[in-house]
Amino acid sequence: MYRSVVFACLMLVGSAQAQPPAGYYDPAQGLSGPALRQALYEIINDHTVITYSMLWEAFYETDRKPDGTVWDMYSDVPGGTPPYSFQFVSDQCGTYNSEGDCFNREHSFPQSWFSGALPMNTELFHLYPTDAWVNQKRANWPYGQVTAPTWTSNNGSKLGPCSYPGCSGTVFEPIDAYKGDLARGYFYMLTRYLPNLTTWSCPMMANGEFLPWAEAMLIDWHLQDPVSPKEVARNNSVFAIQGNRNPYIDNPQWVQSIWGPTANVIDHVRTTERNWWSADILHMRSQSTGTANIVVRDLAGRTLQQITVGPDATEVPLPLGEGAYLITVERGAERSTFRVVR
């Protein structure tokens, strides 16, 4: 039998906990911004750590399709026929020479970014079984968006130059159906390991926080690919093994409460605006029409700059010196305010 006695017992205990236990998130209720992230860290930070060799057995519980094959996000074709599929145990790597040979253990948050240290190195909320060849192609490149790929996998995952605003260099882009899964894993990592973040060397982060382009892109992925039944089931399975949960699967709205451009900012009228600042450029995304009035203020509320742009404006030069700012974008009755710290 593939599952060990240890995992069988863990699953038996966890089977009664298909959702968070009553009161699990009570300390986080009513909070937002840094206070919410700190509360969530304190809830999820002391999980059961498994060994690296135990990951193979863990994947049988966390990433098994209904037909019993491996659920590989780098080869799966949701709603279609995957180009190949893997069986547990028999298709576990080994050696490989091409795509479809075998599967191994993918750190979606590459282990070199945290120096391969425990408990991050066996953290199931960012570890997945994936095609070894695709995993090798992805290597330690950050996630991003690619319009001119240099390599494409059989299911459409891509490697190439980053085309997301504010991003540069080589990146790996998974297919749309799993972007939200991976983004919520990243939000988990920056919560579960909150005290460690400033020691990590990650091309998507600086000083322990997401770079503006990475934060904006991951929020986009989170919103465009909502939580799926697959993620809910996986969250429950990981909970049975590790004893903690991914709060952004259980409560997706908390992503915006912590990392959204209006987190902890009261001056906000619900709007379709998605704005962020990077490399002296204000990037603007909106479903609304009409001119936009951009106001830059300091934290004392003094107006520093005021600019009006047309409805088609997507990138507005906005050089800022060192400091903290509030940037408000108004279109008619809609208003969105977010913070910039430089």
Question: Which structure tokens are listed for 206?
Answer: 């600086």
Answer with the one of 227, 259, 291 that is the final residue of a domain: 259
Please provide the average confidence, as pLDDT, over all residues in the chain.
89
Beta carbons of 66 and 233 less than 8 angstroms apart: no
Question: pLDDT digit string (tens) for 160-177?
Answer: 999 999 899 999 999 999
Residues 16 and 164 in one domain: yes
* pLDDT band at 321; cut points 50, 70, 90: confident
pLDDT (0 to 100) of residue 299: 61
- The pTM score is 0.78
Structural domain range at position 286: 274-341
Residues 136 and 240 in one domain: yes
Residues 57 and 126 in one domain: yes
pLDDT (0 to 100) of residue 307: 95
Residues 194 and 233 in one domain: yes
Residues 66 and 100 in one domain: yes
Residues 306 and 189 in one domain: no
Residues 228 and 284 in one domain: no
Range scoring the smallest mean pLDDT among 17-26, 182-191, 306-315: 17-26
Query: From the centroid of its chain, how far is CA 330?
Result: 29
Dist. CA 95–CA 133, nearest whole Å: 10
Residues 211 and 168 in one domain: yes
Note whether residue 267 is domain-resident: no
Dist. CA 288–CA 269, nearest whole Å: 13
Question: pLDDT digit string (tens) for 44-73?
Answer: 999 999 999 999 999 999 999 999 999 999
Give me the mean pLDDT over the 118-128 stretch. 98
pLDDT (0 to 100) of residue 16: 37
Residues 319 and 241 in one domain: no
Question: Which structure tokens are listed for 330?
Answer: 């108004």
Residues 52 and 161 in one domain: yes
Note whether residue 269 is domain-resident: no
Number of independent structural domains in the chain: 2
Degrees to nearest 5, angle at CA 114 with 112 and 20:
120
Burial class (CB in 10 A: 0-12, 13-18, 19+), 152: middle
* pLDDT band at 131; cut points 50, 70, 90: very high
Residues 202 and 236 in one domain: yes
